[in-house]
């Protein structure tokens, strides 16, 4: 079974997370597929809009926890970092359709999307601290900018999940819908955008993102260095081992 589905319809490229048995946890292979698809799309004028989606009950449970233990990203060329650079630099508008849990990178990737539609069952979480890690995807800068310092500090330091209505109120999502309507709604919105002049779409997005571009790249590098260091640390190891053993982590000695 293909863990990432690629569909092209008109000018819309849709990338679907499709590893449902593992709650769409993202592996190195999946990041590589996503990075390749986005790099190809960036160079393809026929792609006018990109959509990310999962299913009506699940967006993504974030990075595969087993891979964090077995084969953590080794350097800047690791597929996860290629994916993050590709999504951050994507010239076309990106939409996301989010239902159910969106954990870790499942939420931070939304900061690189231009429009986000979610189901009333969406549950966003940034559990980095609870996993002995730190933010990634430039979320340490983009999240406070988007939702304000107080809310971002709460979400990043406590790492507790928050629901669709709060995400809407914070400005993280554009609209909340019944879960079984979200993907279809995002497709309809993407088709609407794809019918608009492509050069104007790209120019508008580029202008909106330009003031941040260099900062985002720098912050991603800084975060990656810290993230890789923490990933090898005892707290992260305890958190991941506990998750896979289906027990609560014990940080009392750490």
3-state secondary structure of 96: strand
CA distance 224 to 162: 25
Binds ligand COA by CB under 6 A, chosen from 11, 54, 62, 91:
62
Span from 8-16, 60-68, 184-192, 230-238 in contact with ligand COA (CB under 6 A): 60-68
Span from 4-12, 48-56, 64-72, 145-153 in contact with ligand COA (CB under 6 A): 64-72
The H or E element containing residue 12 is strand 12-17
Query: What are 129's two structure tokens?
Result: 């601290």
Q: Does residue number 73 form part of the binding site for ligand COA (CB under 6 A)?
A: no
> Which of 12, 231 has the CB closer to ligand COA?
231
> Which of 75, 246 has the CB closer to ligand COA?
246
Q: How far is the CB of 195 from ligand COA (least distance, A)?
A: 36
Query: What are 117's two structure tokens?
Result: 């539609």
Between the alpha carbon of residue 228 and those of residues 144, 153, 233, the distances in Å are 22, 22, 9
Binds ligand COA by CB under 6 A, chosen from 53, 55, 61, 107:
61
Q: Does residue number 237 form part of the binding site for ligand COA (CB under 6 A)?
A: no
User: Euclidean distance between the first and final Cα of the chain, in Å?
Assistant: 40
CA distance 79 to 86: 10
Span from 7-15, 18-26, 147-155, 181-189 in contact with ligand COA (CB under 6 A): 18-26
Q: Check if the beta carbon of residue 173 is closer than 8 Å to that of residue 116.
A: yes
Q: Does residue number 65 form part of the binding site for ligand COA (CB under 6 A)?
A: yes
Q: Does residue number 101 form part of the binding site for ligand COA (CB under 6 A)?
A: yes
Q: How far is the CB of 76 from ligand COA (least distance, A)?
A: 19
Q: Does residue number 19 form part of the binding site for ligand COA (CB under 6 A)?
A: no
Residue (of 96, 106, 57, 59) closest to 187 by Cα position: 96
Neighbours of 228 (CB within 10 A): 17
Q: Does residue number 104 form part of the binding site for ligand COA (CB under 6 A)?
A: yes
Using DSSP bridges, classify how beta strands 12-17 and 4-9 pair: parallel, antiparallel or unpaired.
antiparallel
Q: Check if the beta carbon of residue 15 is closer than 8 Å to that of residue 26.
A: no
Binds ligand COA by CB under 6 A, chosen from 4, 12, 15, 25:
25
Q: How far is the CB of 159 from ligand COA (least distance, A)?
A: 10
Query: Which residues sit at the interface with ligand COA, rule CB under 6 A?
Result: 22-23, 25, 61-66, 101, 103-104, 127, 131, 243
């Amino acid at each position: 079974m293909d863990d990432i589905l690629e569909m092209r319809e008109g000018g819309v490229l849709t990338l679907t997370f499709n590893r449902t048995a593992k709650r769409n946890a993202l592996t190195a292979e999946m990041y590589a597929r996503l990075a390749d698809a986005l790099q190809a799309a960036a160079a393809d004028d026929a792609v006018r809009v990109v959509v990310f989606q999962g299913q009506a009950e699940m967006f993504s449970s974030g990075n595969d926890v087993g891979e964090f233990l077995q084969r953590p990203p080794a350097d800047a060329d690791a597929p996860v970092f290629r994916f993050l650079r590709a999504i951050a630099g994507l010239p076309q508008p990106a939409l996301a359709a989010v239902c159910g849990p969106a954990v870790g990178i499942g939420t931070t990737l939304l900061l690189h999307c231009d429009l986000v539609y979610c189901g009333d069952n969406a549950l966003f979480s940034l559990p980095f601290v609870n996993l002995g890690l730190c933010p990634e995807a430039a979320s340490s800068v983009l999240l406070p900018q988007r939702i304000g310092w107080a809310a971002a500090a709460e979400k990043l330091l406590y790492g507790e999940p928050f629901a669709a209505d709060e995400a809407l109120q914070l400005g993280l999502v554009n609209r909340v819908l019944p879960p079984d309507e979200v993907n279809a709604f995002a497709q309809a919105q993407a088709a609407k955008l794809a019918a608009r002049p492509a050069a104007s779409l790209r120019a508008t997005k580029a202008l909106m993102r330009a003031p941040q571009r260099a900062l985002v790249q720098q912050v991603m590098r800084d975060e990656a260095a810290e993230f890789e260091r923490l990933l090898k640390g005892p707290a992260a190891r305890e958190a991941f081992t506990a998750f896979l053993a289906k027990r609560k982590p014990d940080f009392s000695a750490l």
